[in-house]
Amino acid sequence: MTEPYSLTLTEAARLVRERKLSPVDLVEAALTRIDRLDGSLQAWVVIDREGARSAAAELDREARHGHLRGPLHGVPIGIKDIFYTAGLKTEAGSKVLAGFVPDHDAEAVTRLKRAGAIVLGKLATTEFALLDPAATRNPWNLGHTPGGSSSGSAAAVAARMCHAAIGSQTIGSTIRPSAYCGIVGMKPGYGRISRYGMIPLAPSLDHVGILARSVADAAAMLDVMAGADPRDPGSLALASGGFIHAAARTARTPRIALLPAVFDERANSGTQQAMAAAVAKLAAAGACVEAVEAPPSFGEIVANTGLELIAEAAEAHRERFTEKKDLYGPGVRDVIERGLVTPAWKYIRALEVQRRFRREVDQICLRFDVILTPATPAAAPAGLGSTGDFSFNLPWSASGHPVVAIPCALTPAGLPVSIQLTGASLEEGRLLSIARWCEEILAFDALPPAAPS
């Protein structure tokens, strides 16, 4: 019999709906799994055993009486520790916020609970979702980074300690750890999910991210979180929903653009081989694949986005930094100090480059359904002193286009490699449909050895 913790989110939710599985059993299986594995993985910073068990009991009663709150009814998830959670510590991996307990939930958390999800606890993050690493280890190899900043979210989902999790992405903080940990990651388009109650880093770049075990799971998470919120200035005032149905539709064979000169040629040989094999499988299944030139402003986007980030991070932390500078880690402190002396003209120019790059990516998306690139230049590097290379994720955080990462292969050393699919603005449904098609063709089903059954 399949263990409850090994089910995908959508499988677990279906069994709850059919009254073949209890939310209580799901929570107990997850807590047992956490007790077994998290001593070595260190993905969790807060485990709300009492709250999760209480919620599971209530949701179980509701399910037995035929009342289901939504598509996530009774399924345990994790929350990155930069999202407010009422009654649970929210410290953002920093001494600066030690002991802080919010009195309300972030809007994304509110919507997940409203859909029936059960919050198991808070997941480790690099300090303020930036550079200084968390203690979390990669379940594929404990000596390697899980990536960041959504380190705990990726490790917990990969190790099957929760069925899905939310993270964030300002540069590469959802897609990179998803790739390093061999799971599905999704960065929806900018403004698609409210960031109200999410501790900001750089508001013009910040996105809520999704870490899951399948494309269908990511679609279910997006479906319940997406939608306008007047409390988030970047929120899209557009109707949302239908993502579950979009992911379930059979996609026509897609038109796929490659950008080999700025991605594949900068990847290491193992990633290049994995990408070539993945593209060959997709083409053999009917995809139309074409190499195209990079957008003209591509060469400027890395430096300009970095400047934008430090300027906005300095503003986000300015008052707190004045009072508690010595409590910040060295990486965050350096970013804030550089941002505080950034000239306004440089920041304004960076915003203009961002707008120009977004328009140029839009032009590619008029001709193709998705842009396919490696998710990272290489598999997760050894050591826990950094969270790896974010350069392949940065362009799509700057442009704000939606992205899905899907694992496609293992290196000879047994570490996962992923493709990254970037879709057109406001077209998450079409992107999810194509990602589901690619997922089925690539058929990656390996599990991390550091998190055995």
Taking only the tens place, the pLDDT of each residue in 61-110 is 999 999 999 999 999 999 999 999 999 999 999 999 999 999 999 999 99
The residue from 22, 149, 214, 240 that is catalytic is 149
For the chain, give the longest Cα–Cα distance.
62
DSSP string, 208-237: EEEEESSHHHHHHHHHHHBS--TTSTT---
Residue 428 resides in a domain: yes
pLDDT at 265: 85
Instruction: Report the pLDDT averaged over residues 149-169.
Output: 98
Taking the C-alpha atoms of residue 1 and residue 315, their distance in angstroms, rounded to an integer, is 53
The residue from 94, 151, 173, 235 that is catalytic is 173
Residue 214 resides in a domain: yes
Cβ–Cβ < 8 Å for 165, 172: no
Residue 449 resides in a domain: no
* Angle between helices 107-114 and 215-225 in degrees, nearest 10: 110
Segment 409-432, tens digit of pLDDT: 999 999 999 999 999 999 999 999
Q: How confident is the model at residue 400 (pLDDT cuts 50, 70, 90)?
A: very high
Instruction: Report the pLDDT averaged over residues 241-255.
Output: 88
Taking the C-alpha atoms of residue 140 and residue 449, their distance in angstroms, rounded to an integer, is 6
Give the residue among 416, 300, 417, 435 at the shortest CA–CA distance from 371. 435
3-state DSSP assignment of residue 258: strand
Q: How confident is the model at residue 453 (pLDDT cuts 50, 70, 90)?
A: low
Segment 313-359, tens digit of pLDDT: 999 999 999 999 999 999 999 999 999 999 999 999 999 999 999 99
Q: How confident is the model at residue 374 (pLDDT cuts 50, 70, 90)?
A: very high
Q: Report if pTM > 0.75.
A: yes
Range of the domain at 67: 7-251+375-442
Residue 133 resides in a domain: yes
Q: What is the chain's mean pLDDT, rounded?
A: 97
CATH number at 410 reads: 3.90.1300.10
pLDDT at 451: 76
Q: How many domains does the chain have?
A: 1
80: annotated active-site residue: yes
Q: What percent of the chain has pLDDT over 90?
A: 96
Cα–Cα distance list, 417 to 178, 180, 387, 405, 420 (Å): 10, 7, 16, 10, 10
Segment 220-239, tens digit of pLDDT: 999 999 999 999 999 999 87
The residue from 80, 113, 122, 187 that is catalytic is 80
pLDDT at 145 exceeding the cut of 90: yes
Instruction: Report the pLDDT averaged over residues 430-440.
Output: 97
Order of strands across the sheet that contains 255-258: 44-47, 118-123, 76-80, 164-169, 207-212, 184-187, 403-410, 416-423, 370-374, 255-258, 288-291
Residue 313 resides in a domain: no
149: annotated active-site residue: yes
Segment 5-16, tens digit of pLDDT: 999 999 999 999
Residue 344 resides in a domain: no
CA torsion sign for 147, 151, 153, 155 is positive
Query: 143 Cβ partners below 8 Å, 6+ apart?
Result: 137, 382, 383, 384
pLDDT at 1 exceeding the cut of 90: no
DSSP string, 176-192: HHHHHHTSEEEEPPTTS
Residue 331 resides in a domain: no
Residue 293 resides in a domain: no
Give the residue among 80, 39, 78, 316 at the shortest CA–CA distance from 205. 316
